[in-house]
Copies of this chain bind each other. A is one copy, B any other.
Amino acid sequence: MNTPPPTTLPWEAAAELLRNARRVLLIAHVSPDGDALGSTLALTFALRNMGKHAVPTCQDQPHPRFGFLPGVHEVRQALPPGEHFDLIIALDSSDIARLGTIYQPEQHAALPLLVIDHHITNTAFGTVNVIDPSASSTAEIVFALLKHMGTPITPEIANALLTGVITDTQAFRTSNTTPQTLANAVELMRLGGNLQEITRQALVLRPFDSLRLLGAGLASAQLEERVAYAVIPQKLRAELGVREERGDGGLVGMLISAYEVDIAAVFVELPNGEVEVGLRAQPGFDVAQVAFEMGGGGHPAAAGCTLPGPLREAVNRLLPRLKQAARGR
Protein backbone atom coordinates (compact mmCIF):
# COMPACT_ATOMS: atom_id res chain seq x y z
CA MET A 1 0.00 0.00 0.00
CA ASN A 2 2.94 2.35 0.42
CA THR A 3 4.08 4.62 -2.30
CA PRO A 4 7.83 3.96 -2.35
CA PRO A 5 9.87 6.92 -1.11
CA PRO A 6 11.14 9.17 -3.91
CA THR A 7 14.10 7.33 -5.46
CA THR A 8 16.06 10.55 -5.91
CA LEU A 9 16.64 10.89 -2.16
CA PRO A 10 20.04 9.63 -0.93
CA TRP A 11 18.67 6.88 1.32
CA GLU A 12 21.69 4.67 0.89
CA ALA A 13 24.21 7.46 1.53
CA ALA A 14 22.33 8.34 4.73
CA ALA A 15 22.18 4.69 5.80
CA GLU A 16 25.91 4.37 5.17
CA LEU A 17 26.62 7.36 7.45
CA LEU A 18 24.49 5.84 10.21
CA ARG A 19 26.02 2.37 9.88
CA ASN A 20 29.58 3.72 9.98
CA ALA A 21 29.04 6.05 12.92
CA ARG A 22 29.87 5.13 16.49
CA ARG A 23 29.17 8.28 18.46
CA VAL A 24 26.29 10.37 17.16
CA LEU A 25 25.16 13.86 18.14
CA LEU A 26 21.53 14.52 17.18
CA ILE A 27 20.28 18.12 17.12
CA ALA A 28 16.63 19.21 17.12
CA HIS A 29 15.91 22.80 16.09
CA VAL A 30 15.59 25.66 18.60
CA SER A 31 12.10 26.06 20.20
CA PRO A 32 11.50 22.40 19.45
CA ASP A 33 8.07 21.27 18.31
CA GLY A 34 6.66 17.74 18.41
CA ASP A 35 8.17 16.80 15.06
CA ALA A 36 11.68 17.98 15.97
CA LEU A 37 11.53 16.07 19.27
CA GLY A 38 9.76 12.99 17.92
CA SER A 39 12.10 12.51 14.96
CA THR A 40 15.19 13.17 17.09
CA LEU A 41 14.14 10.70 19.80
CA ALA A 42 13.04 8.02 17.30
CA LEU A 43 16.42 8.14 15.56
CA THR A 44 18.23 8.19 18.93
CA PHE A 45 16.42 4.98 19.98
CA ALA A 46 17.10 3.30 16.62
CA LEU A 47 20.83 4.17 16.77
CA ARG A 48 21.08 2.83 20.32
CA ASN A 49 19.36 -0.39 19.20
CA MET A 50 22.11 -0.61 16.56
CA GLY A 51 24.69 -0.43 19.36
CA LYS A 52 25.71 3.19 18.79
CA HIS A 53 26.24 5.92 21.36
CA ALA A 54 23.60 8.55 20.57
CA VAL A 55 22.99 11.88 22.35
CA PRO A 56 19.80 13.87 21.59
CA THR A 57 20.17 17.63 22.05
CA CYS A 58 18.30 20.88 21.60
CA GLN A 59 19.31 24.38 22.65
CA ASP A 60 15.89 25.00 24.22
CA GLN A 61 14.11 22.93 26.83
CA PRO A 62 11.13 20.99 25.43
CA HIS A 63 7.73 22.38 26.43
CA PRO A 64 6.17 20.49 29.39
CA ARG A 65 3.41 19.43 26.97
CA PHE A 66 5.91 16.91 25.54
CA GLY A 67 6.69 15.40 28.94
CA PHE A 68 4.76 12.25 27.92
CA LEU A 69 7.37 11.39 25.26
CA PRO A 70 9.69 8.63 26.48
CA GLY A 71 13.27 9.93 26.47
CA VAL A 72 12.36 13.62 26.31
CA HIS A 73 14.09 14.28 29.65
CA GLU A 74 17.32 12.94 28.15
CA VAL A 75 17.37 15.74 25.56
CA ARG A 76 20.32 17.90 26.63
CA GLN A 77 20.36 21.68 26.29
CA ALA A 78 24.16 21.83 25.96
CA LEU A 79 26.96 19.81 24.42
CA PRO A 80 28.13 17.14 26.85
CA PRO A 81 31.58 18.47 27.92
CA GLY A 82 34.56 16.47 26.75
CA GLU A 83 32.55 14.14 24.53
CA HIS A 84 33.60 13.57 20.95
CA PHE A 85 31.36 12.57 18.09
CA ASP A 86 31.92 11.16 14.62
CA LEU A 87 28.52 12.06 13.09
CA ILE A 88 26.11 14.94 13.51
CA ILE A 89 22.44 14.71 12.53
CA ALA A 90 20.28 17.82 12.12
CA LEU A 91 16.56 17.10 12.35
CA ASP A 92 13.63 19.20 11.11
CA SER A 93 16.00 22.18 10.71
CA SER A 94 15.88 24.19 7.50
CA ASP A 95 19.26 25.91 7.98
CA ILE A 96 22.28 25.74 10.24
CA ALA A 97 21.13 28.68 12.39
CA ARG A 98 18.15 26.57 13.51
CA LEU A 99 20.61 24.29 15.35
CA GLY A 100 21.26 27.14 17.78
CA THR A 101 24.11 27.04 20.26
CA ILE A 102 24.51 23.26 20.10
CA TYR A 103 26.27 23.39 16.75
CA GLN A 104 29.83 24.67 17.25
CA PRO A 105 31.54 25.22 13.87
CA GLU A 106 35.08 24.99 15.29
CA GLN A 107 34.33 21.52 16.73
CA HIS A 108 31.79 20.26 14.21
CA ALA A 109 32.58 21.63 10.75
CA ALA A 110 35.02 18.80 9.99
CA LEU A 111 32.50 16.07 10.87
CA PRO A 112 30.00 14.49 8.49
CA LEU A 113 26.59 16.16 8.87
CA LEU A 114 23.36 14.34 7.97
CA VAL A 115 20.41 16.66 7.37
CA ILE A 116 16.90 15.15 7.56
CA ASP A 117 14.08 17.62 6.95
CA HIS A 118 10.78 18.26 5.18
CA HIS A 119 10.88 22.08 4.89
CA ILE A 120 10.86 23.28 1.28
CA THR A 121 13.13 26.15 2.35
CA ASN A 122 15.92 23.78 3.50
CA THR A 123 19.34 25.07 2.38
CA ALA A 124 20.82 21.55 2.04
CA PHE A 125 23.61 22.42 4.49
CA GLY A 126 24.69 18.84 5.21
CA THR A 127 27.20 16.36 3.87
CA VAL A 128 24.21 14.20 3.00
CA ASN A 129 20.77 15.81 2.74
CA VAL A 130 17.58 13.79 2.95
CA ILE A 131 15.01 16.50 2.27
CA ASP A 132 11.49 15.62 1.16
CA PRO A 133 9.09 18.60 1.07
CA SER A 134 6.23 16.27 0.13
CA ALA A 135 6.42 14.67 3.59
CA SER A 136 4.07 16.21 6.15
CA SER A 137 6.69 15.76 8.87
CA THR A 138 10.38 14.97 9.33
CA ALA A 139 9.27 11.95 11.36
CA GLU A 140 7.91 10.36 8.17
CA ILE A 141 11.32 10.71 6.49
CA VAL A 142 13.04 9.11 9.50
CA PHE A 143 10.42 6.33 9.28
CA ALA A 144 11.26 5.73 5.60
CA LEU A 145 14.99 5.75 6.37
CA LEU A 146 14.62 3.19 9.18
CA LYS A 147 12.55 0.98 6.88
CA HIS A 148 15.19 1.36 4.15
CA MET A 149 17.81 0.14 6.64
CA GLY A 150 15.65 -2.73 7.89
CA THR A 151 16.11 -1.54 11.49
CA PRO A 152 13.47 -2.90 13.89
CA ILE A 153 10.85 -0.28 14.73
CA THR A 154 9.95 -0.73 18.39
CA PRO A 155 6.75 0.66 19.96
CA GLU A 156 8.93 3.37 21.56
CA ILE A 157 10.18 4.43 18.10
CA ALA A 158 6.68 4.18 16.61
CA ASN A 159 5.27 6.49 19.32
CA ALA A 160 8.03 9.06 18.82
CA LEU A 161 7.48 9.05 15.04
CA LEU A 162 3.69 9.19 15.35
CA THR A 163 4.10 12.23 17.63
CA GLY A 164 5.90 14.00 14.78
CA VAL A 165 3.15 13.14 12.30
CA ILE A 166 0.32 14.15 14.65
CA THR A 167 1.81 17.46 15.78
CA ASP A 168 2.87 18.63 12.32
CA THR A 169 -0.58 17.87 10.86
CA GLN A 170 -2.66 18.88 13.91
CA ALA A 171 -3.86 15.26 13.82
CA PHE A 172 -4.52 15.19 10.06
CA ARG A 173 -6.26 18.56 9.87
CA THR A 174 -3.68 20.62 7.95
CA SER A 175 -3.50 20.86 4.18
CA ASN A 176 -0.16 18.99 4.07
CA THR A 177 -1.98 15.79 5.13
CA THR A 178 -1.88 13.33 2.23
CA PRO A 179 -3.14 9.75 1.89
CA GLN A 180 0.51 8.77 2.43
CA THR A 181 0.49 10.59 5.78
CA LEU A 182 -2.46 8.53 6.95
CA ALA A 183 -0.95 5.35 5.52
CA ASN A 184 2.19 6.03 7.59
CA ALA A 185 0.03 6.60 10.66
CA VAL A 186 -1.71 3.25 10.06
CA GLU A 187 1.67 1.49 9.97
CA LEU A 188 2.90 3.31 13.07
CA MET A 189 -0.30 2.38 14.97
CA ARG A 190 0.20 -1.25 13.95
CA LEU A 191 3.79 -1.00 15.24
CA GLY A 192 2.49 0.14 18.64
CA GLY A 193 1.85 3.87 18.24
CA ASN A 194 -1.01 5.13 20.43
CA LEU A 195 -2.88 7.66 18.29
CA GLN A 196 -5.45 8.71 20.92
CA GLU A 197 -2.98 9.17 23.74
CA ILE A 198 -0.52 11.17 21.62
CA THR A 199 -3.31 13.38 20.26
CA ARG A 200 -4.60 13.99 23.77
CA GLN A 201 -1.21 14.76 25.27
CA ALA A 202 0.27 16.76 22.40
CA LEU A 203 -2.76 18.62 21.06
CA VAL A 204 -5.72 18.54 23.42
CA LEU A 205 -4.61 18.92 27.04
CA ARG A 206 -3.81 22.44 28.28
CA PRO A 207 -3.62 24.38 31.55
CA PHE A 208 -6.97 25.40 33.04
CA ASP A 209 -5.83 29.03 33.23
CA SER A 210 -5.36 29.10 29.45
CA LEU A 211 -9.08 28.28 29.15
CA ARG A 212 -9.92 31.36 31.20
CA LEU A 213 -7.66 33.45 28.95
CA LEU A 214 -9.37 31.99 25.91
CA GLY A 215 -12.77 32.76 27.42
CA ALA A 216 -11.88 36.39 28.13
CA GLY A 217 -10.40 36.72 24.64
CA LEU A 218 -13.51 35.28 22.98
CA ALA A 219 -15.73 37.53 25.07
CA SER A 220 -13.78 40.53 23.73
CA ALA A 221 -13.94 39.34 20.11
CA GLN A 222 -15.27 41.75 17.48
CA LEU A 223 -16.49 41.03 13.97
CA GLU A 224 -16.22 43.77 11.33
CA GLU A 225 -16.58 43.10 7.60
CA ARG A 226 -15.63 39.40 7.88
CA VAL A 227 -12.56 40.27 10.00
CA ALA A 228 -12.69 38.88 13.55
CA TYR A 229 -10.23 40.23 16.08
CA ALA A 230 -9.55 40.10 19.79
CA VAL A 231 -7.04 41.56 22.22
CA ILE A 232 -5.20 40.05 25.17
CA PRO A 233 -3.82 42.83 27.42
CA GLN A 234 -0.93 41.88 29.69
CA LYS A 235 -2.94 42.86 32.79
CA LEU A 236 -5.61 40.29 31.86
CA ARG A 237 -3.05 37.55 32.51
CA ALA A 238 -2.42 38.86 36.00
CA GLU A 239 -6.16 39.16 36.72
CA LEU A 240 -6.81 35.59 35.59
CA GLY A 241 -3.65 34.20 37.21
CA VAL A 242 -2.24 32.98 33.88
CA ARG A 243 1.37 31.90 34.28
CA GLU A 244 2.51 32.01 30.63
CA GLU A 245 3.59 35.49 29.54
CA ARG A 246 2.97 34.90 25.84
CA GLY A 247 0.51 33.14 23.60
CA ASP A 248 -3.18 33.38 22.92
CA GLY A 249 -4.40 30.03 24.28
CA GLY A 250 -5.55 28.99 20.79
CA LEU A 251 -7.76 32.06 20.37
CA VAL A 252 -6.88 32.98 16.78
CA GLY A 253 -7.56 29.40 15.67
CA MET A 254 -11.02 29.61 17.21
CA LEU A 255 -11.85 32.98 15.62
CA ILE A 256 -11.02 31.68 12.13
CA SER A 257 -13.35 28.72 12.70
CA ALA A 258 -16.50 30.88 12.36
CA TYR A 259 -18.57 30.82 9.16
CA GLU A 260 -18.76 34.62 9.14
CA VAL A 261 -14.97 35.10 9.29
CA ASP A 262 -12.46 35.23 6.41
CA ILE A 263 -9.57 36.75 8.37
CA ALA A 264 -8.84 36.53 12.11
CA ALA A 265 -6.34 38.46 14.21
CA VAL A 266 -5.35 38.29 17.85
CA PHE A 267 -3.32 41.10 19.42
CA VAL A 268 -1.28 39.93 22.40
CA GLU A 269 0.40 42.58 24.57
CA LEU A 270 3.89 41.40 25.57
CA PRO A 271 5.62 42.18 28.90
CA ASN A 272 7.82 44.77 27.10
CA GLY A 273 4.76 46.61 25.73
CA GLU A 274 5.14 45.40 22.15
CA VAL A 275 2.18 43.68 20.51
CA GLU A 276 2.45 40.22 19.00
CA VAL A 277 -0.12 39.70 16.27
CA GLY A 278 -1.31 36.26 15.18
CA LEU A 279 -3.15 36.14 11.85
CA ARG A 280 -5.23 33.42 10.18
CA ALA A 281 -7.08 33.31 6.86
CA GLN A 282 -9.67 31.05 5.28
CA PRO A 283 -8.62 29.33 2.05
CA GLY A 284 -8.54 31.93 -0.74
CA PHE A 285 -7.35 34.77 1.51
CA ASP A 286 -3.77 35.83 2.26
CA VAL A 287 -2.43 37.16 5.56
CA ALA A 288 1.24 36.51 4.72
CA GLN A 289 1.37 39.67 2.59
CA VAL A 290 -0.05 41.82 5.41
CA ALA A 291 2.38 40.32 7.92
CA PHE A 292 5.27 40.86 5.51
CA GLU A 293 4.39 44.56 5.09
CA MET A 294 4.56 44.88 8.90
CA GLY A 295 7.96 43.21 9.14
CA GLY A 296 6.62 39.74 9.94
CA GLY A 297 6.07 36.63 7.85
CA GLY A 298 4.32 33.31 7.46
CA HIS A 299 2.05 31.47 5.08
CA PRO A 300 -1.10 32.75 3.31
CA ALA A 301 -3.29 30.91 5.85
CA ALA A 302 -1.25 31.60 9.02
CA ALA A 303 1.15 34.48 9.62
CA GLY A 304 2.28 36.89 12.30
CA CYS A 305 4.14 40.08 13.10
CA THR A 306 5.20 42.19 16.08
CA LEU A 307 4.07 45.82 16.28
CA PRO A 308 4.96 48.64 18.67
CA GLY A 309 2.38 49.28 21.42
CA PRO A 310 0.16 50.46 22.85
CA LEU A 311 -2.37 47.73 22.12
CA ARG A 312 -5.13 50.04 20.86
CA GLU A 313 -2.78 51.75 18.41
CA ALA A 314 -1.61 48.41 17.01
CA VAL A 315 -5.24 47.42 16.40
CA ASN A 316 -6.05 50.76 14.75
CA ARG A 317 -3.02 50.46 12.51
CA LEU A 318 -3.61 46.90 11.33
CA LEU A 319 -7.42 46.60 11.19
CA PRO A 320 -8.00 48.68 8.00
CA ARG A 321 -5.30 46.68 6.22
CA LEU A 322 -6.94 43.39 7.33
CA LYS A 323 -10.33 44.54 6.02
CA GLN A 324 -8.65 45.29 2.71
CA ALA A 325 -7.20 41.77 2.65
CA ALA A 326 -10.66 40.36 3.46
CA ARG A 327 -11.95 42.17 0.36
CA GLY A 328 -9.31 40.19 -1.54
CA ARG A 329 -6.70 42.93 -1.92
Spell out A's residues near B (CB within 8 Å).
Answer: 1, 171-175, 177-179, 182-183, 185-186, 189-190, 195-196, 199, 204-208, 210-212, 214-221, 223, 228, 254-255, 257-261
Contact B215–A218 (Cβ < 8 Å): yes
Contact A1–B171 (Cβ < 8 Å): no
Identity of the chain B residue whose Cβ is nearest the Cβ of A249 in the assembled complex: B218
Known: A179-B190, A189-B182, A206-B258. A215 touches B212 (CB 8 A): no
Q: Residues of B contacting A258 with CB < 8 Å?
A: 205-208, 210-211
Contact A221–B228 (Cβ < 8 Å): no
Identity of the chain B residue whose Cβ is nearest the Cβ of A255 in the assembled complex: B211
Q: A205-B259, A207-B260, A215-B216 are in contact. List 12 more A-B contacts (CB 8 A).
A: A177-B195, A182-B182, A208-B228, A208-B258, A208-B260, A211-B218, A211-B255, A212-B218, A212-B219, A214-B215, A215-B217, A215-B220
Complex CA–CA separation, A217 to B190 (angstroms): 40
Q: Residues of B contacting A174 with CB < 8 Å?
A: 196
Contact A214–B218 (Cβ < 8 Å): yes
A223 is contacted by which of B178, B208, B254, B261 (Cβ under 8 Å)? B208
A173 is contacted by which of B171, B183, B211, B217 (Cβ under 8 Å)? B171
Contact A208–B259 (Cβ < 8 Å): yes
Identity of the chain B residue whose Cβ is nearest the Cβ of A204 in the assembled complex: B257
Nearest CB of B to A285, in Å: 14
Q: Residues of B contacting A206 with CB < 8 Å?
A: 257-259
Contact B177–A186 (Cβ < 8 Å): no
